[in-house]
Structures are given as structure tokens and as C-alpha cells.
Amino acid sequence: MAGAPSGVGSDGWLAGALRRPSPNCDERPPDTEVDLLVIHAISLPPGAFGGEGVERLFTNRLDPDAHPFFREIQGLQVSAHLFIRRDGTLYQFVPLHRRAWHAGASNFQGRERCNDFSVGIELEGTDEHPYTPAQYRRLGWTAARVMAACPGITRDRIAGHADIAPGRKTDPGPAFDWPRFRTELNGTV
């Protein structure tokens, strides 16, 4: 990981992100270059924004009695490196040099197990709800810093979850505006 110029410390934590360490991570395979950025969408309960569901899920503190849907995902151990709320607030759950558990069964350009070599960014949202201007701004800013810290991630190595797990995942969905994201990214790099 690069140091101060990227805004990512040698410990893999991004300056400006609220730290919420997740136990749902582990070491990447030895000598693995991080060279993929995966964009996801999540809301908990589904379609609800602003609550603590995602943070609680990624830190294994989700109360299964707080909502009927939470019973369905009880015991699920998942995480992402970063999470961007609708208002642009940025959370980090896993240091960039560690493997977060965000992609599941996945393949990028013939390479399996994308968690091994990727950084995952979750957006608070759904496939159908337009993402907010604050999210696009923060995503562009965040992606630029991740790319500086992980130079193997280039513009052509940014994918949606649906791209690496077709038929199994659909996020960030048709509501995600890829040209707008790329415009924000171009303005920060």
C-alpha cells in the first residue's frame, strides 16, 4: 500500500473514512496484487436507507429480531472494504491490504475468487433507486485514492458486482450511472 500521497496509510486505512473494523476479513494470498475495484449496492432492510443495518451486518452485530428480513441473513459473515451512505458519508470496515468478504463466487477476465485481488465499495442503495450526487462525488474521490494506493487498479479494472457474478448478482444495477461515476473519477485523478 502506498502512504500519505494517496490518503491511504501504510496500515491500509483511508484518511477521511469512519473506521468500523470488521472481523469478516482475512489475509490475501501471498504475493497477490490488488488490481480490481468492485462496486456494489446494499440496503438493510432491503430498500430502506439510513439505518444501522449495513454497519451491523458487516460487524456481526445484526439483531435478527429487529426486522423479519434479518432472520433470513442471520449468521451471514460478509464485509466490504468501504461503504458510502446516501449523504456521502464514508465508512471503512477492512484495511485495503486485507481480503474483505464482498464478492463471493466471482470471476473477472477468467480469474476466479475476486475477493483475493479486489477492493469492494458498497453504495447504500438498490438496483432501482437512483444514487445521489453526494454518493457519486464520494465514490469518485474514494476510487481515486484506492487507485493511488493500489496502482494495479486502472479504469478498465473497475467492475460492478453483476459483472463479476452474472446471474447471481445484479448490483449496482441499472440505476447506477457509470458515465457519471467516470466523470467524477476523472475530476479527482
Where in the sequence numbering do the catalytic residues fall?
122
Q: Cell numbers at residue 189, please?
A: 485523478
Cα separation, 137 vs 132, whole angstroms? 9
For residue 173, the tally of other CB atoms under 10 A from its CB is 18
HSE of 21 in the Cβ direction (CA atoms, 13 Å)? Answer: 6
Radius of gyration from C-alpha coordinates of the chain: 15
In this structure, the strands spanning 111-112 and 107-108 are antiparallel
Amino acid at 110: G
Packing angle, helices 133-149 and 178-188, rounded to 10:
50
